[in-house]
């Protein structure tokens, strides 16, 4: 059995499918997705459909909540006071669902988004979208939902996770930098290699990380042309 972690697909369905096709997957393997399935990229609905269908193919799948998944959910539930993307990116996301208003989001997607957990502990690892505020007590940092979705800087403390290492996304990191960090077995691994930023040669990749062998597989963005701000 193999265990893989992936994160920050941002509507890049073709790239996600291509990456998983490159992995030597068997039905009993475990796939952990760390959030940000929607927004920015061309096919948010396609990514959700694909993830929702994977368990039916026999894979053991766990999907966590990312800040962009939360933003789509908030918009769908009518929390219009929340900022939700720019005009172009918002239209791209809604068009993928065939709707013009986020409150028209079909119920199966609403239910799926509402059920997404914030964090998960597995053997050797804690999984979360962005990270934790390690300045808090171990109990309090596990209840700090905004930090889990949004933090971009923290000082890792393995003692707060009972010795487990941390794997997360959220902060786009050049793929060469990620490979350099993995060579030194870091306590916290950021897997967001900025797949959606297809203009940026240092980013523009989707990563799959084998949680047992620590092997990293990188797939360049292969989506058709879509508008995205340069990063």
Q: Per the domain annotation, does 65 fall within a domain? A: yes
Query: What pTM did the predictor assign?
Result: 0.96
Q: Per the domain annotation, does 228 fall within a domain? A: no
Mean per-residue pLDDT for 120-148?
97
pLDDT, residue 85, reads: 75
Q: Provide the number of structural domains found in the chain.
A: 1
For tokens 């941390």, the residue is 166
For tokens 């760390």, the residue is 34
Residue 132 tokens read as 């934790």
Question: What length is written for the chain?
Answer: 231
CATH of the domain at 85: 3.60.21.10
pLDDT, residue 81, reads: 65
pLDDT in tens, 63-111: 999 999 999 999 999 986 666 778 888 899 999 999 999 999 999 999 9
- Domain limits at 208? 3-125+168-220
Q: Per the domain annotation, does 105 fall within a domain? A: yes
Cβ neighbour number for residue 214 with a 10 Å cutoff: 11
Q: Per the domain annotation, does 201 fall within a domain? A: yes
pLDDT, residue 137, reads: 94
Query: Which one-letter DSSP state was computed for residue 53?
Result: H
Q: Per the domain annotation, does 114 fall within a domain? A: yes
Q: Per the domain annotation, does 34 fall within a domain? A: yes
pLDDT in tens, 158-175: 999 999 999 999 999 999
Q: Per the domain annotation, does 40 fall within a domain? A: yes
Rounded CA-CA distance 216/213 in Å is: 9
Q: Going by DSSP bridges, is the β-strand pair 60-63/188-190 parallel, antiparallel, or unpaired?
A: unpaired
Rounded CA-CA distance 215/22 in Å is: 13
Q: Per the domain annotation, does 159 fall within a domain? A: no
- Residue 230 — very low, low, confident or very high, per pLDDT cuts 50/70/90? low
């Amino acid at each position: 059995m193999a265990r893989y972690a992936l994160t920050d697909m941002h509507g890049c369905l073709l790239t996600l499918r291509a990456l998983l096709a490159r992995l030597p997957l068997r039905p009993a393997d475990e796939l952990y997705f760390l959030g940000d399935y929607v927004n920015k990229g061309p096919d948010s609905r396609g990514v959700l459909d694909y993830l929702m269908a994977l368990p039916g193919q026999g894979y053991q799948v766990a999907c966590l909540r990312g800040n962009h998944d939360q933003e789509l959910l908030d918009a769908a539930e009518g929390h219009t006071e929340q900022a939700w993307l720019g005009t172009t990116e918002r239209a791209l996301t809604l068009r993928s669902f065939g709707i013009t208003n986020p409150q028209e989001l079909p119920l199966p997607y609403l239910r799926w988004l509402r059920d997404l957990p914030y964090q998960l502990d597995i053997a050797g690892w804690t999984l979360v979208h962005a990270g934790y505020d390690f300045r808090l007590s171990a109990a309090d940092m596990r209840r700090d939902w905004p930090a889990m979705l949004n933090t971009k800087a923290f000082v890792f403390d393995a003692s707060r996770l009972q010795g487990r290492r941390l794997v997360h996304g959220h902060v786009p990191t050049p793929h060469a930098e990620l490979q350099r960090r993995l060579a030194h077995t870091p306590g916290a691994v950021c897997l967001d290699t900025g797949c959606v930023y297809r203009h940026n040669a240092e980013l523009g990749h989707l990563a799959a990380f084998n949680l047992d062998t620590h092997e990293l597989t990188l797939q360049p963005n292969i989506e058709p042309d879509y508008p995205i701000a340069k990063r």
